[in-house]
Amino acid sequence: MQFKSILASSVLAVAAVSAQTTTGFPANYLGSAAVINDNPVGTTYSATFEGNVTGKMTFTASTNGTGVAVKVDLLGFSGATGPFNYHVHDQPVPADGNCNGTLAHLDPYQRGQTPACDKTAPETCEVGDMSGKHNAVPNTNGSLVEFHDAYVDNFISTKSGIAAFIGNRSIVIHKAGGGRYMCVNITLDTSASNTSTPVFQNDESAASSFGVSSALALGGMLVAAVFAL
Ligand SMILES: [Cu+2]
């Protein structure tokens, strides 16, 4: 008798939790995003910014294949009003550069933008809602912003052929209010130095960072030369 009542209350508790996670979402919401645990180790995708914003975002599979390490190094945003949200959008940037051509956020579970993403439950956010799950670029009233961030996201993927794959899609940065500020493609990064921090002109560490990467590049060329012999 007592056992039955405990069982019944457990079932009710489970039902309450599952109802709570879907309340307020669209009727066709498919539920929490899957953690991707077979990202191809050693693969990096990147998005390079050259315009109102310069810099790079890199997306590298974690060493155990679970999750993708994201590194964000951006400089710019002068004269624009933030905070600046950014997302993985479904389509690449079209040839004419019109950011509207990237269509909507990457959202394979059809959860939509309402309710807003809850950082404490990132599995319930749109897969492509990077600033919602992590951090937006802050507003600094139109002055130059240098923004650096690094995090692991378990729901995007560098594995080609699955819905969570970010390759051959795009990153769109939005101004306050949602207008599309900049968009760039996410492509396979084959450069050997894709783990180094991009160097900005106003960065005091520029000289030493450049020195190290130059030395590494020179070392690489020497090694290549030896192998060529
Ligand atoms: Cu967006």
Mean residue pLDDT of the chain comes to 82
Ligand 1 center to residue 98 CA distance, Å?
13
Ligand 1 center to residue 61 CA distance, Å?
23
Task: Give per-residue pLDDT as tens, 2-47.
Answer: 444 444 444 444 444 444 456 799 999 999 999 999 999 999 999 9
Whether the per-residue pLDDT at 168 is higher than 90: the answer is: yes
Mean local confidence (pLDDT), 58-74: 97
Number of domains observed in the structure of the chain: 1
The pTM of the full predicted model, rounded to 2 decimals, is 0.76
- Domain of 131 in residue numbering reads as 44-190
In a domain, 68, yes or no: yes
CATH number for 184? 2.60.40.200
Ligand 1 center to residue 108 CA distance, Å?
15
In a domain, 61, yes or no: yes
In a domain, 213, yes or no: no
Quote the pLDDT of residue 136. 97
In a domain, 180, yes or no: yes
Quote the pLDDT of residue 23. 77
Residues β-bridged to residue 59 = 45, 70
Ligand 1 center to residue 124 CA distance, Å?
17
In a domain, 218, yes or no: no
In a domain, 22, yes or no: no
In a domain, 71, yes or no: yes
More reliable by pLDDT, 161 or 208: 161
Distances, alpha carbon 16 to alpha carbons 10, 120, 219, 221, in Å: 10, 18, 60, 61
Ligand 1 center to residue 86 CA distance, Å?
6
Quote the pLDDT of residue 20. 45
Residue 171 buriedness (CB in 10 A; 0-12 / 13-18 / 19+): buried
Quote the pLDDT of residue 200. 57
The conformational region for residue 205 under phi > 0 = left, psi -120 to 50 = alpha, else beta, is alpha
Quote the pLDDT of residue 191. 85
Task: Give per-residue pLDDT as tens, 114-126.
Answer: 999 999 999 999 9
Whether the per-residue pLDDT at 208 is higher than 50: the answer is: no
Task: Give per-residue pLDDT as tens, 71-121.
Answer: 999 999 999 999 999 999 999 999 999 999 999 999 999 999 999 999 999
Whether the per-residue pLDDT at 135 is higher than 90: the answer is: yes
Ligand 1 center to residue 216 CA distance, Å?
37
In a domain, 30, yes or no: no
Quote the pLDDT of residue 67. 97
Q: What is the DSSP string of 161-204?
A: TSTTB-TTSEEEEE-TTS-EEEEEE-EE---TTTTSPPP-TT-T
DSSP-derived secondary structure letter, 90: S
Q: Listing from the earlier edge strand, what are the strands of the sheet with 86-89?
A: 86-89, 170-174, 180-185
Quote the pLDDT of residue 211. 31
**Sequence-ordered strand ranges (E) for the chain:** 44-50, 53-61, 68-76, 86-89, 145-153, 170-174, 180-185, 187-188
Distances, alpha carbon 12 to alpha carbons 8, 15, 23, 30, in Å: 6, 5, 16, 22
Cα–Cα distance measured from residue 81 to residue 13, given in angstroms and rounded to the nearest whole number: 45
Instruction: Name the nearest CA neighbour of 111 among 35, 18, 32, 20.
Output: 32
